[in-house]
């Protein structure tokens, strides 16, 4: 009370027992509701973050799979390129057959 500039309390009336019990029950009820609300919020946050992690894991796996496929296709392309060069070499080495008249 001093920090608010109100001074020291001089006269505090005693609270009747019935009012004190009612006030205590109300505070306990509010505390329980608040605790449940906080628990629900924390649980939802945890659940959403876990869901995001799973989604990221799926995307990462998809990217990894695509990278592997690209690597496989690069190897296949190099093999086909080597075959084409070999075929061109063979075709160039063939004797040219000119038609006789």
d(CA 101, CA 26): 117
List of residues 6+ apart from 1 with CB closer than 8 A: 7, 8, 9
The overall pTM is greater than 0.75 = no
Q: What are phi and psi for residue 86, nearest 5 degrees?
A: -65, -45
Residue 10 has pLDDT above 80, yes or no: no
Please say if the pLDDT value at position 101 is more than 60. no
What are the tokens at 35? 């605790």
Q: Give me the pLDDT at residue 8, please.
A: 78
For the segment 37-41, the average pLDDT, to the nearest whole number, is: 98
Segment 7-18 mean pLDDT: 82
Q: Report the range of poorest mean pLDDT among 27-31, 90-94, 97-101.
A: 97-101
The answer to which of 12-26, 34-48, 57-71 has the lowest mean pLDDT is 12-26
CA 31 vs CA 12, 35, 54, 88: distances in Å: 26, 6, 35, 85
């Amino acid at each position: 009370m001093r920090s608010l500039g109100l001074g020291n309390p001089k006269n505090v009336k005693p609270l009747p027992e019935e009012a004190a019990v009612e006030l205590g029950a109300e505070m306990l009820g509010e505390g329980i509701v608040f605790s449940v609300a906080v628990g629900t919020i924390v649980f939802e946050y945890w659940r959403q973050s876990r869901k995001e992690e799973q989604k990221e894991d799926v995307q990462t796996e998809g990217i990894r799979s695509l990278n592997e496929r690209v690597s496989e296709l690069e190897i296949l392309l190099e093999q086909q390129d080597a075959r084409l060069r070999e075929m061109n070499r063979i075709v160039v080495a063939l004797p040219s057959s000119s038609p006789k008249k």
